[in-house]
Amino acid sequence: MSVKPALPTWPIAGGSLLVGFGVAELTGVRGLGGVVLFIGALWCGMQWKASRGLPVAVALVVLFLALFAISHVLGRQIGSWPSVFVVTAVMALATWAAADRATPPPVDEFM
């Protein structure tokens, strides 16, 4: 499958990491941030499955979860917000490359 999704998913995938952390920080309730993360990952995962297939969807959801975990470790090294910005950028770029980027049409070798 190589259908481009109707809406780009990279802002939601990256943004849910950023907004989820922001919600947790502002409210002091980590669970609310987790709800934002869950909703963002669920919506994106469904979009990825529909547009790119199950293997790409699973890979991107696993990356999302891995980056969430990595942000905690990285946060001890560079600070919480810088860590969140790094994982947000990585997730957004990976999502654009794997799911949202337009794929060129196949090249006819006999032209």
14-58 per-position pLDDT tens digit? 999 999 999 999 999 999 999 999 999 999 999 999 999 999 999
pTM equals: 0.86
Question: Which residues, at least 6 apart from 71, have a Cβ–Cβ distance to it below 8 Å?
Answer: 17, 21, 83, 84, 86, 87
Residue with tokens 């991107």: 60
Domain boundaries, the chain: 10-98
CA 60: distance to chain centroid? 7
Other Cβ atoms within 10 Å of 84 Cβ, number: 22
pLDDT of residue 7: 87
